[in-house]
Structure 1
Amino acid sequence: MTTTGIYHTDKKHEALIEESILPTLIGQRPIGWLGYAGIWIGIAVIIATYSLGAAGVEGGAQLATVIGVIALANIAIGALMLLTADIGTEHGLSFAVYLRAPFGIHGTHIPAVSRGIVAAAWFGIQTYLGALALNGIGEYFLGFQNWVVWYVLFAVVQVANTAMGIKSVERLASLAAPAIIAISVWMYFTLDGVAQTEGINIWTFQATGEMSLLVLFIANMSFWSTLAVDIPNLTRFVKVEPGAKSFFQRNRSVLVAQLVALPVMQALVAGLGAVSFIATGNWNPIEVIQGQGHGLSLVLLLALVVLAQWSTNNSANLIPSALTFINLAPRLINYKIAVVLAGIVGTLCFPWQILNNLFVFLGYYGAFLSALGGIMVADYYILRRRRLNVPELYQTDGQYHYSGGFNWAGLIAWFVAGGIAAWFSQYAFIIGFPLGLILHVVLMKLVVLKAYPQAEIESGATSDYLATSEGLSWVYTGNGRFARMTPEEGQGHSLRREDL
């Protein structure tokens, strides 16, 4: 076997290693561009998106303007997702493991677990909404209704599905995506019909509010800041071309999802919320049509709700939450245990209470996650120039140990930028992201890098700390050893399960 570089970790340091958070090999990335786009179609159908669209028209904008602003905001956040996505496509790393670089091997847990708990809470919210829909279906077919029973059953089914691995998640998305699109189109024409019976033209309707379109734009960006930061959790499973040195060539399977599927589907869903508000004064089209519907049309609507919540929960909530819990205690928690743990936390978070304060919830965590996005971009592109000393990420006393396992530059930048962004929550994203980026670069260069040299930074533009763009994968070969290998060499040498 010819390896292009072997790196060592002492066996006693395997406390940071668990197979589901090891780098994915090039040959372990099964999701193509169509499957990844399908995942994003499901993710985009979130209940809060309806409210965003309604807020726009209630604030005085016409329907076409609202749809355009939402689409542009998602193109902007999609571009940021492309930047952080490269952490997964280039190195095969999960979000929480990567954060060991800017925050330290212990410092990573503060932002990572914060995001993990938010993801678990979203799992609870989506499960609750799906349970209400299942309750309606159960009443129609079985004459039985008890949303608590459906809530528990739906949670168990989703956890089991996600625990089966990424291929199971992709298969569900491929089933859900076309159904979601078809039923969403049907919802639009149904709501337009309701508006026409009231003598309302949905495209010329204009309310008397004075909401700033900039606020709507920023709110939508903050809304997706969660996945903008932890998108490597998904992109590490997206197919890549070995040796693709061009950024766009390496991430071409990601491009369609982030810059087409997300903006188009998000604009459609927000538009449905806007049309629902125009026609009835209620931003939730599901409630509107459910109140008027009957028979098979009602069942189809409720099926949309179930599919949307399910496909979103798998990829956007359970997987990110589970991986942060694994990173917290790799020797105690494996992938399946972590998925179950995330499901339990989310199910017990009283999501109906969170829904009553949804936009407060979105605003504050969006502020801190926007700052985190700025830190990630600063660290990965400006400081390390996409290079990472990946084996050191799994060492307890390596270069990412910093001061007692904490990189105070990253933590200070995050707390300060996130706190200021939260104070001005309406403009959180455009404050938190650039401020986090600038503070991290300044603190690293003035203080941290002088005391804690980083091999990949000091090496200049060497290719020794790249992976996919060199046609290689970071492979953990056991006994504390890492190697960069070609796809052919890597077969049979990784301890990772193929389906995770």
Structure 2
Amino acid sequence: MAKNQYLKSPDLFPVTEQNRLISSFGFAVLWTSMAVVLAAFAIGGDAIQQIPLHLVILATLVGSVGIGVCMTLTGDIGIEHGLSFPVYMRAPFGTIGTHIPSIIRGFVASCWFGVNTFFGATGINAILFILYGIDQWFLCFLVFAALQLLNTAFGIKAIEKFANLAAPIIVIISGWMYLVLSDQAQAAGRNIWGWVENPATGTAVIGAFAITAMATMGFWGTLAADMPSISRFIKAPKHERNWFKRNKAQLIGSIVAMPIVHTCMVIVGAVSYIAVFISNPVDALVETSSNVVILGILMLMIALAQWSTNTSSNLIPAATIFSNVGGPRVPHWIGVMIAGLIGILVQPWNLFSIIVPALLIVGGILAAIVGILVVDYYIIRKRRVNVPDLYEEGGQYHYWKGLNLAGLFSWLIGGGVSLLIPSYSYLVGFAIGGLLYYISAKYWWFRKYRQEELEDPSDERFLGLTVGREWFIDEEEEEEIEQLAEEA
């Protein structure tokens, strides 16, 4: 394959209007599905050990709304230009440099696939144990992982739609879980609104509050970076210059639907710990429920909910990244299999036991990427992008041997400093990464490597949806899309 075609993987081309099928309501429903991640129970179980439930809820809302704002900011890249995360990353990191932070994001998504699969597998194992006395959770884990990988790689839509039904059912059942566990806590003499295992005092309360908020931001940190890969499929009005109107669907999903559902998950985790001192929701349910039928249905919903979450939040974004790294020789389905293999090899059953500290570390590293993306897209380029050159090996984004050193150094320093202040890791990583990038890119790198959209900030040349433009990478792609449109 010619060198100049290396960046032109069909899976990474800009998404055009006719392929944007997600409505505002559909995105809110998608978020309801994605936010039903039972690992979020661990945040509640960890936080309630130091601060009371009302502060746990407030910290979770602060963190989830904050990360929702970050998601919406980066998501405009997909709305405006139809670009995915790994493609746009070529602007602040270079055509080769994009692979380094992208692989980190793909690795984290793959780990989440493993954690969610572990939860789903324990639900399946619980069903088998209830019905037949069979206890083979690891076999359930392998089979459940294989089914999800095949579904995602080959697009078995009927199964995916069925799995999506599980998410809203889980939200409803979570209300039932809350009531059951609250009653059990009350019977044990523990008021859920006042009980704390080891109450933090003085400034320690602020620290515990911040850790809960930062853990929540780290929890969704991968999607804050990778939101363009999803938002590029959202319907949005052409010729709309108002940012809020153009991103209405994103705002409803990321700042309303996600915080509500995620906070519900955290609340149930906290109440579960108050009631039985167990953060793992499956173990808590098995221990507290005597209704075999309800328990069996719930475990089935748990498995299906993790299935739908993994498909949209983890496997597809990770596969897109790995496909970008490998070029056209690594199609989407191989990217899916790579993500699945990583998710299995990291041993997610052990990873869950250290999930909150891991979230603080990962959150800071990813936050530096998000800060760089926001600064590059909004402050430096002012949303104008020379999209065709993103797909050219010798274009303006090749920089020095394919690397944008301003982006790479800013990310390494911002992510590194965030590790020194874990209680505020996301804020630190975002601020330092973004600030360093602004200074180094504006006053050093882009003076050395000129950018067309900065030299001639033309709306007509470099904006997308705002001026009614749809980006086509080559004539063959444009002719094919026009032919499909005529047939439709």
TM-score, length basis structure 1: 0.90
Change beyond 3 A, Cα 1:222–1:404: same
For 2:365 and 2:258, locate their aligned partners in 1 and report how far apart those are by CA, in whole Å.
22
Match of 2:79 among 76, 89, 97: 89
Q: Percent identity?
A: 38
C-alpha deviation, 1:172, in angstroms: 4.7
| Paired AA for residue 415 in structure 1 | L
For 1:276 and 1:420, locate their aligned partners in 2 and report how far apart those are by CA, in whole Å.
35
C-alpha deviation, 1:165, in angstroms: 4.5
Equivalent residues of 2:166, 2:302 under 8 A apart = no
C-alpha deviation, 1:317, in angstroms: 0.9
Match of 1:131 among 118, 121, 126: 121
Match of 2:447 among 427, 447, 450: 450
| Paired AA for residue 112 in structure 2 | W
Aligned to 1:64: 54
C-alpha deviation, 1:461, in angstroms: 4.6
Aligned to 1:316: 313
- The CA RMSD over aligned residues, in Å, is 2.3
Aligned to 1:181: 171
- 1:221 counterpart = 2:211: no
Match of 1:384 among 372, 381, 385: 381
Equivalent residues of 1:121, 1:345 under 8 A apart = yes
Aligned to 1:30: 21
C-alpha deviation, 1:276, in angstroms: 1.1
For 2:66 and 2:420, locate their aligned partners in 1 and report how far apart those are by CA, in whole Å.
23
Match of 1:291 among 269, 287, 292: 287
For 1:168 and 1:258, locate their aligned partners in 2 and report how far apart those are by CA, in whole Å.
26
Equivalent residues of 2:61, 2:259 under 8 A apart = yes
Equivalent residues of 1:95, 1:230 under 8 A apart = yes
For 2:170 and 2:465, locate their aligned partners in 1 and report how far apart those are by CA, in whole Å.
34
Q: Which has the higher helix share?
A: 2
Change beyond 3 A, Cα 1:204–1:426: closer
C-alpha deviation, 1:121, in angstroms: 1.4
Equivalent residues of 2:97, 2:404 under 8 A apart = yes
| Paired AA for residue 41 in structure 1 | T
Secondary structure of the corresponding residue to residue 328 of structure 2: coil
C-alpha deviation, 1:242, in angstroms: 2.2
For 1:455 and 1:493, locate their aligned partners in 2 and report how far apart those are by CA, in whole Å.
32
TM-score, length basis structure 2: 0.93
Match of 2:195 among 205, 209, 212: 205
Cα shift readout 1:17-43 (whole Å, capped 9, x = no counterpart): 111111111110111222222222232
For 2:464 and 2:303, locate their aligned partners in 1 and report how far apart those are by CA, in whole Å.
39
Equivalent residues of 1:477, 1:493 under 8 A apart = no
| Paired AA for residue 441 in structure 1 | Y
* Structure 2: gaps spanning 5 or more residues: none
C-alpha deviation, 1:327, in angstroms: 0.6
| Paired AA for residue 237 in structure 2 | E
Change beyond 3 A, Cα 1:353–1:54: closer
Cα shift readout 1:185-217 (whole Å, capped 9, x = no counterpart): 111111112122223332233444214322322
* Structure 1: gaps spanning 5 or more residues: 1-9, 484-488
Change beyond 3 A, Cα 1:22–1:172: farther
Cα shift readout 1:32-66 (whole Å, capped 9, x = no counterpart): 222222222232233332122223322132x2232
Aligned to 2:40: 49
Cα shift readout 1:445-475 (whole Å, capped 9, x = no counterpart): 2211111111111112533111111222112
Tell me how many residue pairs correspond in the alignment: 479
| Paired AA for residue 175 in structure 2 | V
Aligned to 1:105: 95
For 1:368 and 1:33, locate their aligned partners in 2 and report how far apart those are by CA, in whole Å.
30
For 2:281 and 2:188, locate their aligned partners in 1 and report how far apart those are by CA, in whole Å.
16
Equivalent residues of 1:225, 1:366 under 8 A apart = yes
Equivalent residues of 1:50, 1:270 under 8 A apart = yes
| Paired AA for residue 129 in structure 1 | F
Equivalent residues of 1:103, 1:408 under 8 A apart = yes
- 1:303 counterpart = 2:284: no
Equivalent residues of 1:56, 1:66 under 8 A apart = yes
Secondary structure of the corresponding residue to residue 471 of structure 2: strand
Cα shift readout 1:142-196 (whole Å, capped 9, x = no counterpart): 4433222211211121112222459669735641232121111111111112122
